[in-house]
Structure 1
Amino acid sequence: MRRWSKDKQQLEGLMCESLKQRVNFHVTAYRKAHDQMGRAFITVDGKDIFSMCTLTAINKAAEIESRSERVRNVDDVTENVRIYDEALHQANADGYFYQYQFFDALDEYFTNSIDQTLSSEQVLVRMLGMIDRRTGRRRLLNLEPVIDREHEIVKYFYKLRMEAERKTARLPG
């Protein structure tokens, strides 16, 4: 069993000073759910701005899968997995993530250098890199030309960080 309190402490230790009082991470388990899964969510200034709920992501992936022209074949497990993976990839692109994806992102984030974090294939890992104290002023400014190609949640945290750094006079603007 994972120790959320330890992960949260490590996460907060890596967060930049300008956002420490504004950004909070939370994990909730639903004990009456059949799998006791729940959601991980992030609040900014006390407002829930990003949720990673397993049930919501499953429903979104199923909805995407049902709209697909490709049909599951009972005999072809490999193709069925490929169809599901494509639906999950699209659900992630739409901003729907499983709770376990957040924990997987934390595992990668905690073991990576900041260079690896910012170039990760995982959206959630890159998102964490935007609020990481190891992402310095120069690097933030260098990301500006390419940030528009990022996932919405990465862009959100980049803009939040830039705004916070400018208010603390660490960045020009």
Structure 2
Amino acid sequence: MSWSKLKQNLESFLCPALYGRVEYRSTSYRYLPDKSGLCYIAVDKKNVFNMSDATTSIRWYQTELEIKNDANIQIPINEEEIETVRKDTKGVVPEDRLIVIARGRKIAEYAKELLSAQSALSKSNFIVVANHFLSAPIEQSLESSDILLNILALVDRRVGKKRILSMAEKMKLKHPMVQYFYELRRSTL
């Protein structure tokens, strides 16, 4: 599918409030056929999302330690996770320390998922992922661990107000770029 047709298809699925604000853009290299072009997403005429660009306003993490030390990341812990730690430590650890251990385990798991999603994104081809998005059910894109699929689904008109509002807890565990587009979509409700 040509870029212009793909762009037209993607923009036809934008929610009405974001139409004209969110744009899909592409650059190509006319005289370098072996070099692929860049695709990115602009919000209000500002380049917000370029898969491998370090100059975007959203933070790209390089190590697990950066994620663990980021104060902006809030990881919710439930009783089940605390109980798992209690069983693993055979009940000899104080209660307040159990919460710290459970949070540390969950942040480590989250960090690994986040870094693998980022590395997959930097290797992926925007056009391939966009074609997959257009042919797959919207639920599959929302539940995916792929950052780009999540973003395309969040700005989609098929995702309604009730579903957007019910996703608040899930979004805390997503990449900051996905959170940015979630907040953008929530601001239009």
Query: Same fold by TM (over 0.5)?
Result: yes
- Which residue of the partner structure matches residue 43 of structure 2? 44
Q: Give the conservation status (yes or no) of the 8 Å contact 1:15–1:132.
A: yes
Contact kept? 1:38, 1:53, Cα under 8 Å: no
How far has the Cα of 1:91 moved from its partner? 7.4
What is residue 107 of structure 1 aligned with on the other side? 131
- Map 1:29-108 → 2, pairs under 5 A: 29-33=28-32, 35-52=34-51, 90=115, 92-93=117-118, 97-98=122-123, 100=125, 102-108=126-132
Q: State the Cα distance separating 1:32 from its structure 2 match.
A: 4.0
**Which protein has the larger Cα radius of gyration, Structure 1 or Structure 2?**
2
Are 1:124 and 2:124 matched, yes or no?
no
C-alpha contact 2:18 2:188 (8 A) present in aligned 1: yes
Q: 1:145 aligns with which of 147, 150, 169?
A: 169
Distance 1:129 1:144 in 2: 15
How many residues were matched structurally?
132
Q: How far apart are the structure 2 equivalents of 1:34 and 1:110?
A: 26
Q: Given residue 155 of structure 2, which amino acid in structure 1 is its aligned partner?
A: I
Distance 1:30 1:99, change over 3 A: farther
Matched, 1:6 2:12: no
Residue 38 of structure 2 aligns to a residue in which SS?
strand
C-alpha separation in 2, matches of 1:103 and 1:24:
15
CA distance in 2, matches of 1:38, 1:99: 13
Cα deviation, residue 124, structure 1:
0.7
Q: Please report how far the alpha carbon of residue 95 of structure 1 lies from its aligned counterpart in structure 2 after TM superposition.
A: 9.4
